[in-house]
Chain A
Amino acid sequence: MFKWFGKVNFSPFTKVSDFAGYLKDGHLMGSKCKKCGTTSFPPRADCESCMSGDFEFFEVTGKATLHTFTKIVAAPTGFEDEVPYIVGVVDLDEGGRALAWFGETVKEEEIAIGMELQMVPRIFEELEEIKVYYSLEKPGTTWSKV
């Protein structure tokens, strides 16, 4: 079901495929190695520390701090309708990083490196097929099932 992740998806098959299913139900999941406990976001099936392939998902809060950002004006194929769009790279409170779009709760002029943000699971409501992603929102913004 990883084909659900992203408006344009390039890698539908992965060992962490369940990530997209959790996301559809409003849960942001990282991976945790069952052998040594190393955690990762984005999730990965094979532990980068001990190389074990035995992992489980754990839920992250999505609380984050903005590390850097850019407004993309020249878009690649599949994103023509979205331009301009702003992508941010955030440091997650529980460790790891994510790259995502800013959502409607954050105004462009408010965006500043170091600001606190909340990463929130999202569904593309305008698309017929299931397409999920996450966006960067004001702290306190919650996911609500439509």
Chain B
Amino acid sequence: MSRVGIIGIGHGVFGRRSDATVQELAFEAFKLAMEDAGIAREDLDASVIGSVPEYHKQRSLPGVVQEYLGLNPAPTWLTEVACSSGSAAIRTAWMSIKAGVHDIVAVIGCQKMTELSTPEILALMGRVGEVQWESVFGTTFPAYYALFAQRHMYEFGTTREQLLEVAIKNHYYGARNQCALFQKEITMEKAKASDEVSTPLQVYDCCANADGAACVILASEEKAKEISQKTVWLDGMGCATASMSVLRRPNLTGLPSAEAASAEAYRMAGVSAQDIKVAEVHDCFTIAEIMAYEDLGFCKKGEGGKFISDRQAYIGGKVPVNVDGGLKAKGHPIGATGVSMTVEIAKQLRGEAGERQVPDADVGLTHNVGGIGQYCFVQVLRRD
């Protein structure tokens, strides 16, 4: 079966980017990825945009991005599945190449979240869940993950400190990533003193909205071998869903979509969790990273808290996780996040991650979650 490879990567600076429009952010990442791939725009067959439209004033984003990047008349389209829109974009580009329709496709995850006013954001925040039976009680994004956290603590004895240890780790690595929103370390004392959001979660348990873009250039096996000496292969592509409503989930201690998507990705790539040398997981809230350790099989169910306490998610541990700072420190421009994860793993597998480099990384994984696990995309990436 023929493979699909990543031949170019580009990552813009995440943060409050009042200096740029969303298409200008897209341009930054795209230009870096094209220079990295060493190809011209004429070589691209199509582009796929990962973004969540309700945050932008500009409607129908692919049109303006395609024009600004100078890619007309090549085809483009948008993929949207909340915070996993970026990975969905990569998946549709991968599918188009696997199907033999296209040979080289640019995937651009881009998002400008600070265009909206605070009242607009607060209104959106009230409609993140299932609106018929849940949003009527004023649920919020942090509240949903807080419901998971509370149950996880009850069933497995996960502690408040273990949750915050995730944030401390991710800030430690974010301080070493020049594209991150928060490039500073934090202490347990400071984290514990932060404001309550939705118990038990406090401000330091939550990632921050941000603006930013990331880009990968995908190519068919034949084209990749012709163009690139440093291809990273998308060998496992898992994707699954779970109910929109938390009222219809089998349990509230993990994400069934993440379990299913990772099982599919491992099977497709012919690897197991033990083979993963470095991972990017969706730490929108600290509890989400702890559940990811378990859902992905890095540790047993219920032992996610111990996994972080034992420093198994640091470089030198069992599976270094989010050594670019994760959503927590890097910031979470929702459409860009999935692509940003793939860029980071490609960098790691190419040995170009500098002081954050995981030694001997040859197989890596990304885990990008939409909403509260309604969607999950897992990629297994490999360097030959």
Question: Interface of A with B (CB < 8 Å)?
Answer: 5-11, 14, 42, 67-79, 82, 85, 87, 89, 96-101, 113-114, 133
Q: Which of B143-151, B263-271, B352-360 is the contact stretch? A: B143-151
Q: Which of B54-98 contact A (CB under 8 A)?
A: none
**Inter-chain contact B126/A77, CB cutoff 8 Å:** yes
Residues of chain B contacted by A74 (CB below 8 angstroms) = 140, 142, 197-198
Interface CB pairs A-B, < 8 A, 23: A7-B136, A68-B154, A69-B147, A69-B150, A70-B143, A70-B150, A72-B143, A73-B195, A73-B197, A73-B198, A74-B197, A74-B198, A76-B123, A77-B119, A78-B126, A79-B126, A82-B138, A87-B139, A89-B147, A89-B246, A98-B247, A99-B137, A114-B154
Shortest beta-carbon contacts, A-B, top 3: A6-B136, A76-B126, A79-B138
**Inter-chain contact B126/A97, CB cutoff 8 Å:** no
Q: Which residue of B lies closest to A80 (CB)?
A: B122
Q: Is B199 an interface residue (CB 8 A)?
A: yes
Q: Which residue of B lies closest to A76 (CB)?
A: B126
Q: Which residue of B lies closest to A83 (CB)?
A: B138
Q: What is the CB-to-nearest-CB distance from A80 to chain B, in angstroms, rounded to a whole number?
A: 8
Q: What is the CB-to-nearest-CB distance from A112 to chain B, in angstroms, rounded to a whole number?
A: 9
Residues of chain A contacted by B127 (CB below 8 angstroms) = 10, 76
**Inter-chain contact B137/A75, CB cutoff 8 Å:** no
Q: Which residue of A lies closest to B144 (CB)?
A: A70
**Inter-chain contact B247/A6, CB cutoff 8 Å:** no
Question: Interface of B with A (CB < 8 Å)?
Answer: 119, 122-123, 125-127, 131-140, 142-143, 146-148, 150-151, 154, 195-201, 246-248, 252
**Inter-chain contact A99/B198, CB cutoff 8 Å:** no
Residues of chain B contacted by A89 (CB below 8 angstroms) = 147, 246-247, 252
- Majority-rule SS of A interface residues: loop
Residues of chain A contacted by B131 (CB below 8 angstroms) = 10-11
Give CA–CA (A39, B334) in the complex, Å.
37
Q: Which one of B123, B199, B200 has the greatest number of beta carbons of chain A within 10 Å?
A: B199
**Inter-chain contact B137/A100, CB cutoff 8 Å:** yes
Give CA–CA (A101, B125) in the complex, Å.
18
Q: Which residue of B lies closest to A98 (CB)?
A: B247
Q: What is the CB-to-nearest-CB distance from A85 to chain B, in angstroms, rounded to a whole number?
A: 6
**Inter-chain contact A113/B154, CB cutoff 8 Å:** yes
Contacting residue for A133 out of B136, B139, B154, CB 8 A: B136
**Inter-chain contact A72/B136, CB cutoff 8 Å:** no
Q: What is the CB-to-nearest-CB distance from B83 to chain A, in angstroms, rounded to a whole number?
A: 17
Residues of chain B contacted by A97 (CB below 8 angstroms) = 246-248
Contacting residue for B147 out of A5, A68, A96, CB 8 A: A68
Give CA–CA (A72, B146) in the complex, Å.
9
Give CA–CA (A71, B195) in the complex, Å.
13
Residues of chain A contacted by B143 (CB below 8 angstroms) = 70, 72, 87
Give CA–CA (A67, B152) in the complex, Å.
11
Q: Which one of B133, B146, B199 has the greatest number of beta carbons of chain A within 10 Å?
A: B133
**Inter-chain contact A70/B151, CB cutoff 8 Å:** no
Given contacts A9-B136, A76-B138, 6 further A-B contacts (CB under 8 A): A8-B136, A68-B252, A70-B199, A87-B143, A89-B246, A89-B252
Residues of chain A contacted by B135 (CB below 8 angstroms) = 6, 8, 10
Q: Which residue of B lies closest to A74 (CB)?
A: B197
**Inter-chain contact A72/B126, CB cutoff 8 Å:** no
Give CA–CA (A97, B133) in the complex, Å.
11
Residues of chain A contacted by B134 (CB below 8 angstroms) = 99
Q: What is the CB-to-nearest-CB distance from A10 to chain B, in angstroms, rounded to a whole number?
A: 4
Residues of chain A contacted by B247 (CB below 8 angstroms) = 42, 89, 96-99
**Inter-chain contact A67/B252, CB cutoff 8 Å:** yes
Give CA–CA (A76, B129) in the complex, Å.
12
Residues of chain B contacted by A77 (CB below 8 angstroms) = 119, 122-123, 125-126
Give CA–CA (A4, B6) in the complex, Å.
52
Q: Which one of A70, A72, A73, A113 has the greatest number of beta carbons of chain B within 10 Å?
A: A70
Give CA–CA (A2, B360) in the complex, Å.
59
Q: Which residue of B lies closest to A90 (CB)?
A: B247
Q: What is the CB-to-nearest-CB distance from B38 to chain A, in angstroms, rounded to a whole number?
A: 47
Q: Which one of B125, B131, B143, B246 has the greatest number of beta carbons of chain A within 10 Å?
A: B143
Give CA–CA (A7, B201) in the complex, Å.
25
Give CA–CA (A68, B139) in the complex, Å.
14
Q: What is the CB-to-nearest-CB distance from B291 to chain A, in angstroms, rounded to a whole number?
A: 14
Q: Which residue of B lies closest to A134 (CB)?
A: B137
Residues of chain B contacted by A76 (CB below 8 angstroms) = 122-123, 125-127, 138, 140
Q: Which residue of A lies closest to B147 (CB)?
A: A68
Q: Which residue of B lies closest to A100 (CB)?
A: B137
Q: Which residue of B lies closest to A75 (CB)?
A: B138
Q: What is the CB-to-nearest-CB distance from A17 to chain B, in angstroms, rounded to a whole number?
A: 11
Q: What is the CB-to-nearest-CB distance from B305 to chain A, in angstroms, rounded to a whole number?
A: 17
Give CA–CA (A133, B136) in the complex, Å.
9
Q: What is the CB-to-nearest-CB distance from A143 to chain B, in angstroms, rounded to a whole number?
A: 18
